Amino acid sequence: MEPGVIRKLDEVVVNRIAAGEIIQRPANALKELLENSLDAKSSHIQVQVKAGGLKLLQIQDNGTGIRREDLAIVCERFTTSKLSRFEDLAQIATFGFRGEALASISHVAHLCIQTKTAKEKCGYKATYSDGKLLGQPKPCAGNQGTIISIEDLFYNMPQRRQGLRSLAEEFQRLSDVLARYAVHNPHVGFTLRKQGDAQPALRTPVASSRSENIRIIYGAAISKELLEFSHRDEVFKFEADCLITQVNYSAKKSQMLLFINQRLVESIALKAAVDSVYATYLPRGHHPFVYMSLTLPPQNLDVNVHPTKHEVHFLYQDEIIEKIKQQVEARLLGSNSTRTFYKQLRLPGAPDLDETQAADKTQRIYPKELVRTDSSEQKIDKFLAPLIKIETGVSFSSPQEASPLPEESFRVTVAKKSREVRLSSVLDMRVRVERQCSAQVRSILKNIVYVGCVDEFRSLFQQETRLYICNTRSFSEELFYQRLIYQFQNLSEITINPPLPLKELLMLSLDSEAAGWTPEDGDKAELAASAAEVLIKKAPIMREYFGLRISEEGNVESLPSLVAQHRPNVAHLPVYLLRLATDVDWEHEARCFETFCRETARFYSKLDWREESAGAHSRWTTEHVLFPAFRKYLLPPTRLKEKIFELTNLPTLYKVFERC
């Protein structure tokens, strides 16, 4: 048999197929046209529709108009007045300019443009087919601005036409797109009209406001429940302007109006994150109304993942989404009416934890953390004997395999979630962390792969083709510090059961070398008693803000849980407590939080390496707990740069091997 002849597809057909990818239904065309009119600085935009936009979709604006000499080429592919060099694609302040919209439309519909600029005396009318101007533009009367008429959409793609649902549904989609742009652009007056109808289907006034437009379009039930807020983030360089319903409102239908850099887009991840916040408060199957406008540095945005530019990806997506989630949650809890609602929901039995923390709840502290060898710590062993007994017979390999201790030993209780932090001292600490964050180190951390531990202090990790060594202790200390200030007032607790007597712990700490006690310092028992007194007096602060509980009788009942699955090394608990009494500035609020967090972070960052099996556990923790947490949470301050060192990279290694 003869082989089939390979023919080059007709160019017109190729273009039509490409255009059909971009314009999949009337609503896609409308979105492009609205964006063009807005880009042209219009203050009035009127849309007329016949048969769901398939017979006619016409948009009239009062923007800049198109110059006569440009009419010949506006419908060629890749012609745009908005970018001229490839590099502009990344730099241009808005996105979506690929000069494809009008060209695409002209391949799948009859397109006519009537336009007049301020300079020209009269307007011009031009018709297009398959990307080309038909004949010459004809002079005509008209006001400044542009009228774009699209007739018989998909006349040359019968299958596409058939594939569309009802005309009513197409109209609904057109109306939905217009509604969203109207909310986002309240300074512009929009009208949507079905041809022949006396009344417009939708109309918003010029110089309106977002909430007013939401009222007009979506109804007062939504607009009166709106909570407005903006958030500017210095670290990830984004701004969010939001209007979200309070939890008193809910609907079966989920509505999220999302704009990124002024373009209507969708983000499944962001929507899921916002929904998850509301899920705690709304009845099952009910949703909020959310309007959100994000502004990101354009170079961080990748719009070309999808031909309709509907779906976008952006740099630091996870972090940004997490931040927005926190904001939404904080705002919901901040509003008073919500608070009562929140309390109602917190009746016994109501779920009050998110999944990660739920997992945390079943964690137990691991046996080997309690087994010590050196002298002062031997005493700790003796002292902690009841706990150690519980462990006898537990063979330990990795925490996952370790048999859990009996219920009554150590347990994590999840804090009542998400109390909004209003203390400016803490907010200041956060701002400082965010200001000091090195974007460079952060971007390295974002996709590091753990390689191995060198010793107690150092680990190796890989990022792309580079191999680094870092100071694990410095990194984890910073991590724990940041967790304390970001989870402030919301920390889960590691319950210590039975509780440990504070005074005896303090006595033990005075025995340790770290305390550096000498007889001149005074009687040990007296010192321990006065340190205990300080801590008992300050217990409410530690309990309220940090989840560290010391009872009035002087028992240590719980410690904060800073990172899921991480437990501090109890051997260092006595010295930690002593330092809390002596080194924390309890008098001044800001200093108090700062010194408390630093001491706590230091305590938590000490892993145990003294024994073979303890070392194995610490390796496990470094790989499975600390490194994932670095990736997820750590905002590395610039000074941590000194704690990372690039050992080698692939190109260098290639050079080495080439010589061999």
DSSP 294: E
Q: Which is nearer to Mg ion, 101 or 365 (CB)?
A: 101
With CB atoms as reference, the residue minimizing the distance to ligand ADP is 80
According to the binding rule CB under 6 A, does residue 474 interact with ligand ADP?
no
102 binding partner (options Mg ion, ligand ADP, none; Cβ < 5 to 8 Å by kind): ligand ADP
According to CB under 5 A, which one of 15, 28, 36, 42 is a site residue for Mg ion? 36
Q: Which is nearer to ligand ADP, 123 or 367 (CB)?
A: 123
According to CB under 6 A, which one of 62, 64, 185, 472 is a site residue for ligand ADP? 64
Binding mask 478-517 for Mg ion (x = CB under 5 A): ----------------------------------------
Q: Which is nearer to ligand ADP, 88 or 408 (CB)?
A: 88
Residues 273/227, Cβ–Cβ less than 8 Å: no
66 binding partner (options ligand ADP, Mg ion, none; Cβ < 5 to 8 Å by kind): ligand ADP
Contact region with ligand ADP (CB under 6 A), list: 34-42, 154-162, 163-171, 476-484:
34-42
According to CB under 6 A, which one of 52, 53, 99, 554 is a site residue for ligand ADP? 99
According to the binding rule CB under 6 A, does residue 391 interact with ligand ADP?
no
DSSP 311: B
Residues 103/75, Cβ–Cβ less than 8 Å: yes
Q: And the tokens for 587?
A: 């008098």
248 vs 257: CA distance, rounded Å: 19
Q: Which 3 state secondary structure label does DSSP give 409? A: coil
Q: And the tokens for 180?
A: 């969203």
Q: How far is the CB of 35 from Mg ion (least distance, A)?
A: 5
Q: Which 3 state secondary structure label does DSSP give 372? A: coil
| Residue 386 exposed, middle or buried by CB count within 10 Å (0-12, 13-18, 19+) | exposed
Q: How far is the CB of 61 from Mg ion (least distance, A)?
A: 13
Q: And the tokens for 48?
A: 């007329």
Q: Which is nearer to ligand ADP, 303 or 426 (CB)?
A: 303
Q: Which 3 state secondary structure label does DSSP give 208? A: coil
According to CB under 6 A, which one of 63, 554, 560, 637 is a site residue for ligand ADP? 63
Amino acid identity of residue 346, one-letter, is: R
- Per this entry, what is the length of the chain? 660
According to the binding rule CB under 6 A, does residue 117 interact with ligand ADP?
no
Contact region with ligand ADP (CB under 6 A), list: 50-58, 96-104, 134-142, 351-359:
96-104
Tokens 């003869």 appear where? 2
Dihedral sign from CA coordinates of 205, 291, 98, 236 = positive
According to CB under 6 A, which one of 74, 108, 179, 570 is a site residue for ligand ADP? 74
Binding mask 120-159 for ligand ADP (x = CB under 6 A): --------------------------x-------------
Residue-by-residue DSSP string for 545-593: HH--EE-TTSEEEEEEE-STT----GGGHHHHHHHHHHHS--SSHHHHH
Residue-by-residue DSSP string for 587-606: SSHHHHHHHHHHHHHHHHT-
74 binding partner (options Mg ion, ligand ADP, none; Cβ < 5 to 8 Å by kind): ligand ADP
Q: How far is the CB of 57 from ligand ADP (least distance, A)?
A: 13
Q: Which is nearer to Mg ion, 36 or 600 (CB)?
A: 36
Q: How far is the CB of 567 from Mg ion (least distance, A)?
A: 56
98 binding partner (options ligand ADP, Mg ion, none; Cβ < 5 to 8 Å by kind): ligand ADP
Q: How far is the CB of 263 from ligand ADP (least distance, A)?
A: 11
Q: How far is the CB of 226 from ligand ADP (least distance, A)?
A: 31
316 vs 372: CA distance, rounded Å: 42
Sites for Mg ion among residues 74-133 (CB under 5 A): 101
Q: Which is nearer to ligand ADP, 117 or 245 (CB)?
A: 117
158 vs 160: CA distance, rounded Å: 5
Residue-by-residue DSSP string for 411-473: EEEPPPP-PPP--HHHHHHHHHHHHHB-HHHHHHHHT-EEEEE-SSSEEEEEETTEEEEEEHH
- Of 164, 144, 140, 135, residue with least CA distance to 24: 164
User: Measured in whole angstroms, how far is the alpha carbon of residue 640 from the centre of its chain?
Assistant: 24
User: Measured in whole angstroms, how far is the alpha carbon of residue 484 from the centre of its chain?
Assistant: 20
According to CB under 6 A, which one of 28, 32, 470, 538 is a site residue for ligand ADP? 32
Tokens 């919301």 appear where? 490
37 binding partner (options ligand ADP, Mg ion, none; Cβ < 5 to 8 Å by kind): ligand ADP
According to CB under 6 A, which one of 102, 467, 528, 640 is a site residue for ligand ADP? 102
Contact region with ligand ADP (CB under 6 A), list: 30-38, 196-204, 257-265, 293-301:
30-38
Amino acid identity of residue 120, one-letter, is: E
According to the binding rule CB under 6 A, does residue 418 interact with ligand ADP?
no
- Give the H/E segment covering residue 492: strand 492-501
Note the residues at the interface with Mg ion (CB under 5 A). 36, 101
Note the residues at the interface with ligand ADP (CB under 6 A). 32, 36-37, 40, 61, 63-66, 74, 80-82, 97-103, 146
